[in-house]
Structure 1
């Protein structure tokens, strides 16, 4: 498989503040276990922090990639030939497409801590999904990568 002319990869990592909150969860567990002694207190601190950190890491693990002639967004893999126009969404438009403009049939890979997004039309007539909504920190770069991959697929 050949890489596209403009490869793109982004991990939708959780913000730094979530890691601090993970530590605070550990502190809370330690305080809960304080009456039982020092060892349970330390176990609560370590265990609570670890569990909260794993949850934050798992929520921030989806990736968006343009590889070869495919867009991989989370667990979805779509050939770029099945995609149409892209629309870069600023924070206000992204919020509108997440709420009152949203179509229940759309594929949404959204993270509330990422304010911008890219909306990609699905042109495959056999796919009932009207569009993809992808939270991304770099929507212009993702749109360029998709356009380059479509151009490379059309030439092949």
Structure 2
């Protein structure tokens, strides 16, 4: 019934760490704000998806307790979602691009307050009303 000695436990010693490393690598998504080289415009990058910060509207931090509702009944089917179940809070970023059919992004992040502050800092100010419209 099986091989005795080293041949019995050697596959576990090799395969299990490889599987754990593979799962960790696949579950790792980089979330960052960076300047693009050509235009110099800052962008939010979530994995391979990117969003110019000029299209960032309202930013909501959704804590662990409200996350189920935000990802369930309140979720718009057209939203861009990058959710990792083991990360507690999520960030909802509303878009202001009229040409984009995506209403908002929902992303998991370990530091939502820091990212929300950075996005709010870089978003453009709303246009001031003209005197003739007042």
For 1:130 and 1:137, the matched residues in 2 are separated by 23
The two structures have a TM-score, normalised by structure 2, of 0.79
RMSD: 1.9
Q: Using CA pairs below 8 Å that are at least 6 residues apart, which structure has the higher relative contact order?
A: 1
Match of 1:95 in 2: 68
Higher normalized helix content (fraction of residues): 1
SS in 1 for 2:22: helix
Match of 1:50 in 2: 17
List gaps (5 residues or longer) in structure 2. 36-41, 126-134
For 1:131 and 1:118, the matched residues in 2 are separated by 10
Q: Is the 8 A contact 1:114 1:135 kept in 2?
A: yes
Number of equivalent positions: 119
1:149 Cα deviation after fit: 2.3
**Greater radius of gyration (CA):** 2
1:145 Cα deviation after fit: 0.8
List gaps (5 residues or longer) in structure 1. 1-33
